[in-house]
Amino acid sequence: MRRRDELKKAHIAGTVWFALAVSYIFVLALRQAGVRWWVVFSLSGHGVLIVAVLVSLYLFAIFRGISSSQNVEIEHPLTSSTYYAAFYLLTPFLGGLAGCLGMIGAHSMNQFVLGIALGTLGVTFMVWVVLDPLIGLLEMLLPVSRKHHAVRLAQARDERERKQRNRERLLDEVVEQEKLNRRRWREILEPEAERLAGLLIENGNDAQTVEREAVGIGVRAWQTGGLVCMRELRDTAIHLCQRKRPDQAVIDYISFWWDGIGNWRAKPLGS
C-alpha cells in the first residue's frame, strides 16, 4: 500500500512537471510568433482547465492500468515490476535532467530553460508513446507470457460459460416452478373456478350475494398465489362459462368484483 502511494505521488509530480514543460514551449512559441501577452494569458486561462481535465483522466487511466497489470505479472515481468513503474513515472524528470545536461554552456537563461523543456517533452514522448508499448509487445512474445495469456483467456471463457449455464439453469428452474405452481393451482382452485363460472351465469339473481361470494373466492386465490393465481382462476372461470353458454357473450364481471383485492385492478367491460 505504501509503495502504491509513493508511485501515485511520483506520477502526479511527473505529470505536473511534464505539463509545465509543454506549457512553457507553447507560450514561448506564441511569443516568438509575435503574439501579445494578453492573448497568451487569455488562451492559457482556458488551457489550464482543459489540461486539468486531461491530466485527471490520464491519471485515472494510468492508475487503473498499473493496478490491473499486477494481475498479469507473468505476462509482463518487466513492465509490472516496481523498478520499471518508478522509471516510467519519473520519465519527465529524467528528460528534464537530460535537457539540463545537454544545455550546459548555454548563453542565456531562456535557452537553458527551453532545453530542459524540450528534453522533458522528447524523452517523455519516446518512453510513454514509443518505448513502453514496444516493451509490452516484446514481453507478450515470450513463450511463458503467451502460454499464460492463453490459459488466462481460457479461464475467463470458462468462467463466462459457467455463469451463462448458471443463468440458464436458474431460468429453467423458474419456468419449471411456474409450471408446478399452475398445476397445483388448477388442482386446488378447480372447484372455485367452477363456482365462479356459475356466479357469472347467476349474476342477475341476488347480485349482492353473488358479488360477496366472488370476493371471497378472489381473496382465497390471492392468498394462494397472488395476482398470477387470480388471473389463472379468472381465465379458467371465463373459459368454463363460455363452454357452458357458447351462444352468449360472457361479460367479465370478475374484474369488477375483485377490484381492490391485493394488486388486482378492474378491467373495462368486455375485455
pLDDT, position 163: 93
SS (H, E, C) 198-249: HHHHCCCCCHHHHHHHHHHHHHHHHHHHHHHHHHHHHHHHHHHHHHHCCCCC
Read off the pTM: 0.46
Same domain flag for 24 and 81: yes
Cβ neighbours of residue 250 under 8 Å, at least 6 residues apart? 200, 238, 241, 242
Q: Is 159 a member of any domain?
A: no
Same domain flag for 136 and 185: no
**Cβ neighbours, 10 Å, residue 172:** 10
Same domain flag for 189 and 101: no
Same domain flag for 135 and 187: no
Q: Is 173 a member of any domain?
A: no
| Between residues 68 and 3, the one the model is more confident about | 3
209: domain range? 181-257
Q: How far apart are CA 54 and CA 20, in angstroms?
A: 14
Percent of the chain with pLDDT over 70: 79
Mean pLDDT of 146-151: 82
Q: Is 167 a member of any domain?
A: no
Same domain flag for 137 and 185: no
Same domain flag for 94 and 187: no
pLDDT, position 62: 53
- Locate cell 449455464: which residue? 165
pLDDT, position 65: 47
241-264 per-position pLDDT tens digit: 888 877 777 788 888 888 888 878
Taking the mean position of all CA atoms in its chain, how far away is CA 183? 40
Same domain flag for 137 and 186: no
Count: domains in the chain: 2
| Between residues 31 and 120, the one the model is more confident about | 120
Q: Is 237 a member of any domain?
A: yes
Same domain flag for 24 and 121: yes
Same domain flag for 15 and 96: yes
Same domain flag for 120 and 210: no
Same domain flag for 130 and 212: no
